[in-house]
Structure formats: C-alpha cells, structure tokens
Amino acid sequence: MGHGCRRRSPRQEKTASELGDVLVVAVNSDEQVRKQKGEDRPLIPQDQRAEIVSALAAVDFVTVFDEPTVAELLLALKPDIQAKGTDYTEDTVPERDVVRSYGGRVAIAGDAKD
C-alpha cells in the first residue's frame, strides 16, 4: 500500500481484493517513509496507518514492512497477484521480476492518481 492513507486507498483495496481470494496489505514502516519522503514524515504513525487499513472491509491482513520494497515479503508469501496503485504500470512495478520469478503476476488496481 505505501506510506499514507489516501482518499483513493479504499477504492484501490476494494479493486485489489476482487482480483484474488485474500488481500494482504503491506504498510511502509515509519523509518522507510522518512527515508523516502523526508524527516517530517509520516504524518500518521505506522501502527495507526495499519489499523486504519485493517478496518477496510476488503482487507484480510495487514503487515508493516521495513525494507525499501516489498520484494522480501513477496518471496515469503508468494502471492498469485501483486496489486499496485495506478501511479505504476505493470512494467514499472519495482518488484515485477520477483513476482514473475515464482509464477505470479502484477496487476494495477484503483483509481487514477489525483
């Protein structure tokens, strides 16, 4: 999912949940958000972001990850589908080669970026 709780997130999660049987959402740790967005971030702490995401009906499980990408998590879980938001294309998803290496596929879910 990423660092924030954005307006498009619930629609993204709903769309992603329709692609498979179980939806696991990975939330960036506070440390990773600071590395990626700056010292004044995140605006909402990781535990609160995870709780907000877990309250969405479409979400089955939430985890917080502390790496620059979810590649390690993908290798551990090996989901059939990795869904990313519309700020990506299937060819620009950083973990696409990892997902394809075990036979999974990448899908784009949600509304266009505001």
* Ordered structural domains, the chain, with CATH: 9-108 (3.40.50.620)
Chain centre to alpha carbon of residue 78: 14
pTM of the model: 0.86
pLDDT per 10-residue tile (average), the chain, 114 residues: 52 91 96 95 95 95 96 97 93 97 95 66
CA dihedral 7, 13, 19, 21 (to 10 degrees): -160
Cα separation, 85 vs 13, in Å, equals 9
**What is the Cα–Cα distance from 36 to 22, expressed in whole angstroms?**
28
